[in-house]
């Protein structure tokens, strides 16, 4: 993947993509605003969500052990994965042990993050995505571009073409004469997926939350595909980030109000599936929970950046972001696009890579993401913090020198006044664009014009 500026420049040249994104993000954000406005205590709920997550993250070691104990006591098996490679090895081994060559999947960001489908494919195991949007992405040999609506960059006509051309290669073909009517597209997907649900012996899921006190996992969804995957197969494997824990059922209540309104703008999501270990004669007879770190404890160690781990993946920040609306999700080069991706990916993967180093700058710092975030993550604060980290790396000597020089002058009032006067006198000689590495910055901006007289001189003359 190229760094964000190049990827975004390419994406913004695609008029269809921009139209699809604009239509979808505006529709969801307007609906969300109306649904949130119905609750008089939204700000209190938001504060409660933040407080619960902060408390849990501070005592994560305790709550994770509680989860392990409760899941084990309920008949499940807990596996600990330090990174993507270990998680993929565990899941692949578990699937192979069942003797099956295919799995059905509930939409899961964690499994995308670790590249599980590719790891399974390398072992000859086919993973079938069962969420409608994920199905569109998988059939189109595409990548997700939104946390909640992975195929947000596709319109109905494009989806019809993908179904008509690609469904047959993955199972039941699309019906003859399929049109782009939403009901027809949904029916085609339903028929295609139904045979997979009925045949599958193994399912792989993530989870929105884990309730530590009972070891209960929670999946919140809208299509019922999750319910099918979580109940029909004999073996269920759930890969969940360690930050998904909430201590009690009372805490869960807060998030079950925050999440649907922030994500799909629903008062209550259609399907909330909860399961605790295994139950004889009811649902999967084997349950494995893979607890995934993959950079999370490193993020937790960062006092400013750790707030990103409060994220409940509602995607509200994506839908209000002016940068995401124009560039789309692919430009972020990660499964986590938009404002949350710009702060989460560099923390999970480090800032050494070109893509990761570019992400903290993929923002205008307008603050809209913070205002809508249901767990009050101050995304602009983390962005600036990460920019500092990037600027400390090799290759940023000029920026550091410029900031050090500015700091020196701003610290000395007499020197600052002299510098202002010198700048005012030489204003006609100032270039319109910065030279050297600063040139790109002025490609799209005018350098501010220096006034003919510094403000402090004007003040002294007029108000002294």
313 binds ligand SF4 (CB under 6 A): yes
Q: Which stretch of DSSP H or E encloses residue 440?
A: helix 439-443
| Nearer to ligand SF4 (CB atom), residue 240 or residue 340 | 340
CA–CA distance, 241 with 287 (Å, rounded to integer): 17
Pick from 292, 375, 383, 386: which binds ligand SF4 (CB under 6 A)? 375
Q: How far apart are the first and last CA of the chain?
A: 59
| Separation CA 315–CA 337 (nearest Å) | 9
Among 315, 334, 345, 358, binds ligand SF4 (CB under 6 A): 315
Q: Which is nearer to ligand SF4, 284 or 346 (CB)?
A: 346
The answer to whether 299 contacts ligand SF4 (rule: CB under 6 A) is no
Among 357, 373, 383, 390, interactor with ligand SF4 by CB under 6 A:
373
Q: How far is the CB of 332 from ligand SF4 (least distance, A)?
A: 13
Q: Kind and range of the H or E element at 371?
A: helix 368-372
Number of residues that bind ligand SF4 (CB under 6 A): 14
Site for ligand SF4 in 241-270 (CB under 6 A): 262
99 within 8 A of 93, measured Cβ to Cβ:
no
Q: Up-side HSE of residue 118: CA atoms within 13 Å toward CB?
A: 8
User: Is 291 one of the binding residues for ligand SF4 (CB under 6 A)?
Assistant: no
Helices (H), 115-222: 116-122, 132-139, 156-170, 182-199
How far does Cα 157 stand from its chain's mean position?
26
Residue from 331, 340, 362, 368 in contact with ligand SF4 (CB under 6 A): 340
Q: Pick the closer one to ligand SF4 by CB: 91 or 373.
A: 373
Shortest CB 59 distance to ligand SF4, Å: 21
Q: State both tokens at 271.
A: 């399907």
Establish if 312 lies at the interface with ligand SF4 (CB under 6 A). Answer: yes
**E strand or H helix that includes residue 288:** strand 286-292
Helix, strand, coil content of the chain in percent (nearest 5): 55, 10, 30
> Of 212 and 372, which CB lies nearer to ligand SF4 in the complex structure?
372
| Phi, psi (deg, nearest 5) at residue 188 | -60, -45
Q: Closest approach of Cβ 298 to ligand SF4, in Å?
A: 18
Q: Which stretch binds ligand SF4 (CB under 6 A): 30-38, 86-94, 311-319, 426-434?
A: 311-319
Minimum distance of ligand SF4 from residue 144's CB (angstroms): 14
Is residue 377 a contact residue for ligand SF4 (CB under 6 A)?
Answer: yes
Q: Which one, of 111, 65, 130, lies nearest residue 207 by Cα?
A: 111
Provide, rounded to whole angstroms, the least separation between the CB of residue 217 and ligand SF4. 19
The candidate with the shortest Cα–Cα distance to 201, out of 98, 129, 123, 116, is: 98
Q: How many C-beta atoms lie closer than 10 Å to residue 460's C-beta? A: 10
Q: Which one of 32-40, 155-163, 307-315, 388-396 is the stretch in contact with ligand SF4 (CB under 6 A)?
A: 307-315
200 vs 215: CA distance, rounded Å: 25
CB of 221 to ligand SF4, least distance (A): 16
Minimum distance, C-beta of residue 157 to ligand SF4, in the bound complex (Å):
29
| 229 counts as binding ligand SF4 under rule CB under 6 A | no
- Judged by CB under 6 A, the stretch of 155-163, 177-185, 310-318, 407-415 that binds ligand SF4 is 310-318
Please give the residue ranges that form the binding site for ligand SF4 (CB under 6 A).
Answer: 262, 311-317, 340, 372-375, 377
């Amino acid at each position: 993947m190229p760094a964000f500026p190049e990827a975004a420049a390419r994406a913004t040249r695609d008029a269809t993509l921009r139209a699809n994104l604009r239509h979808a993000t505006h529709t969801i954000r307007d609906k969300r605003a109306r649904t949130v406005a119905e609750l008089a205590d939204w700000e209190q709920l938001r504060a409660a969500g933040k407080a619960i997550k902060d408390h849990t993250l501070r005592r994560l070691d305790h709550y994770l052990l509680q989860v392990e104990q409760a899941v084990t006591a309920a008949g499940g098996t807990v596996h600990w994965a330090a990174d993507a490679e270990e998680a993929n090895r565990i899941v692949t081994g578990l699937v192979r042990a069942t003797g099956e060559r295919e799995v059905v999947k509930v939409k899961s960001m964690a499994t995308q993050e670790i590249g599980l489908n590719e790891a399974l494919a390398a072992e000859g195991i086919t993973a079938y995505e069962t969420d409608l949007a994920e199905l569109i992405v998988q059939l189109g040999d595409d990548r997700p571009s939104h946390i909640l609506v992975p195929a947000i960059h596709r319109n109905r006509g494009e989806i019809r073409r993908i179904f008509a051309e690609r469904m047959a290669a993955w199972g039941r073909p699309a019906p003859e004469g399929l049109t782009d009517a939403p009901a027809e597209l949904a029916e085609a997907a339903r028929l295609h997926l139904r045979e997979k649900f009925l045949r599958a012996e193994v399912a792989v899921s993530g989870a929105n939350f884990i309730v530590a006190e009972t070891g209960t996992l929670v999946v919140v969804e809208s299509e019922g595909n999750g319910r099918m995957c979580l109940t029909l197969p004999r073996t269920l494997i759930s890969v969940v980030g360690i930050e998904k824990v909430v201590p009690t059922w009372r805490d869960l209540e807060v998030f079950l109000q925050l999440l649907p309104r922030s994500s799909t703008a629903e008062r209550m999501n259609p399907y909330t599936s909860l399961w605790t270990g295994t139950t004889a004669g009811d649902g999967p007879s084997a349950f494995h929970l893979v607890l995934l770190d993959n950079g999370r404890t490193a993020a937790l160690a960062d006092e400013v950046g750790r707030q990103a781990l409060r994220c409940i993946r509602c995607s509200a920040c994506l839908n209000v972001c002016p940068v995401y609306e124009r560039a789309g999700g692919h430009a972020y080069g990660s499964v986590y696009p938009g404002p949350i991706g710009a702060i989460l990916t560099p923390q999970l993967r480090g800032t050494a890579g070109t893509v990761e180093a570019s992400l903290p700058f993929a923002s205008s710092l307008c603050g809209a993401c913070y205002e809508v975030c249901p767990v009050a993550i101050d995304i602009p604060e983390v962005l600036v913090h990460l920019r500092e980290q990037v600027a400390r790396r090799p290759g940023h000597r000029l920026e550091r020198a410029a900031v050090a020089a500015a700091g020196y002058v701003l610290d000395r009032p007499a020197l600052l006044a002299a510098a202002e006067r010198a700048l005012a006198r030489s204003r006609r000689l100032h270039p319109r664009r910065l030279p050297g590495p600063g040139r790109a910055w002025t490609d799209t901006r005018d350098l501010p014009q220096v006034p003919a007289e510094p403000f402090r001189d004007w003040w002294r003359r007029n108000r002294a």
